[in-house]
Structure 1
């Protein structure tokens, strides 16, 4: 086994361990639900007391058989390994419980840990099977964000649990899923959040010079035309980090208080002057490697 394969196995093990802590320590003691196969397993556990390690392993086995055609050999191996290790750790950490005095803290803790665990496993090249595989397939063929596809699938699974754990706990579970999705998105897609700034001003040259001098970011100028007056304009575009928002806002206002400024969210930035972990292109490549094309 090469070095990269060993690193992937280590990270899958770490992710599986964190996953089991999230479930056994925070979800089960505080009667929270979950999405995906784990959510189904939790409903079975609450109704029959069947150990979660057994039910999730059995259901994931069926899902893996169904999804086998979509997985390459390496990913299948890592996914099977992650599923086995998750079941093992769920059994080993059984009894590591922590009941929160404030109910809202339980979904916060479980959501962060669950998102972190799934993100680590997926970054390593595997998955926790279940709806992860379905979400990746949806990303491949429908173009949906993996994290958004996961949360939609999870909500469909969580809804029936209102009859088992009650409405209040279902609402807390939704908070858990929201936090989980945000953490997962951050790990897979959002290590490099930036702001794109568009500036329209008659004093564009002065503003561009000051941005270059004070902030030191690359600037793009392009021509535009106003619709009403048909007059030509120069538009400044610059990408900054969030800590530079106030500085650039103050700078623009001091030069031209009538400037038209638009701030937009930027998911990832690739290029000189910016570092990044996973760009959209890289993640799409990971997905393409993860799911074999049947074309």
Structure 2
């Protein structure tokens, strides 16, 4: 079957049932953890989260309407936006996550506060939200529509997703200063920062990956040393110097951040003049990326 432009139409392959169940399970767990953080830690201490969730918390504070209602109503436009801009699977996962969070906050509305100290609320509130939201994001779900809006704005205006989210949150925390007071708004900002950093750890994992490109006249010795002393395999890339015209072999190696210091020691021992480019890696899958035992 072909599309209007004559190109063959690609058949969409849905997710296996096992993957769907796993995704739904972890999104549910993430929503429950996040809901507990909101109802048992932040709300009793008059603090808010960022994004649509934070705006929902402000509106539920100044009106008799329950937080769970605002979570669904304010995120619905972003569900349709996500469906149009990103796709059906993302939109369904987002809608499920938002509904799960709404139900969780509704069921936990009368739960007893676990801390009544603002500093403890900042730390444990941020950690709880970060773990819940991070677990959801890691499994393809979303609990807040702010990022969907940011992606759309990024396409229309010369701002990054991070800059758009920061601008939105500045407005929301400014509103919180009028509703809860400046001190509580500042505590909310600290909570959001801790949650943001925790999300990063949960989504990426404790061992961030690094990639290193090494240009050296001792490429064979370096490759052997990396394999023997670090237990990592390497790949040779062929390159040519633009100025000299010489053929060069570039070593590419991927390893964890914890192994970075040892990698640099290996390079220094063999070739102090090696040219090195190091970069962060978001994800590594497939192939033969497995650490070999070293002795």
Q: SS at 1:29's partner residue?
A: helix
Partner of 1:225: 241
Partner of 1:279: none
Considering Cα pairs closer than 8 Å and 6+ residues apart, tell me whether 1 or 2 has the greater RCO.
1
Contact 1:25–1:96, Cα closer than 8 Å, also in 2: yes
Tell me which of 196, 209, 229 is aligned to 1:194.
209
TM-score (norm 1): 0.71
Tell me which of 225, 228, 231 is aligned to 1:210.
225
CA distance in 1, matches of 2:96, 2:284: 33
Task: Kindly tell me the number of residue pairs found equivalent between the two proteins.
Answer: 272
Contact 1:107–1:175, Cα closer than 8 Å, also in 2: yes
Partner of 2:10: none
Structure 1 residue runs without a partner (length 5+): 276-295
What is the deviation of 1:21? 0.7
Which piece of structure 1 moves more, 43-52 or 70-79?
70-79
CA distance in 2, matches of 1:144, 1:267: 22
CA distance in 2, matches of 1:118, 1:143: 28
Tell me which of 29, 35, 42 is aligned to 1:14.
29
Tell me which of 241, 246, 249 is aligned to 2:261.
246
Counterparts in 2 of 1:185 and 1:141: CA distance versus 1, 3 Å: farther
Contact 2:49–2:188, Cα closer than 8 Å, also in 1: yes
CA distance in 2, matches of 1:159, 1:198: 45
What is the deviation of 1:257? 3.3
CA distance in 1, matches of 2:82, 2:287: 40
Which piece of structure 1 moves more, 71-80 or 263-272?
71-80
TM-score (norm 2): 0.71
Matched, 1:158 2:212: no
Tell me which of 86, 89, 107 is aligned to 2:122.
107
Tell me which of 111, 114, 137 is aligned to 1:98.
114
Deviations 1:12-38 (A, max 9, x none): 322221121110122112322222222
Structure 2 residue runs without a partner (length 5+): 1-15, 291-295
CA RMSD of aligned residues (A): 3.8
Deviations 1:99-129 (A, max 9, x none): 35461x4333223322332344345554335
CA distance in 2, matches of 1:73, 1:245: 40
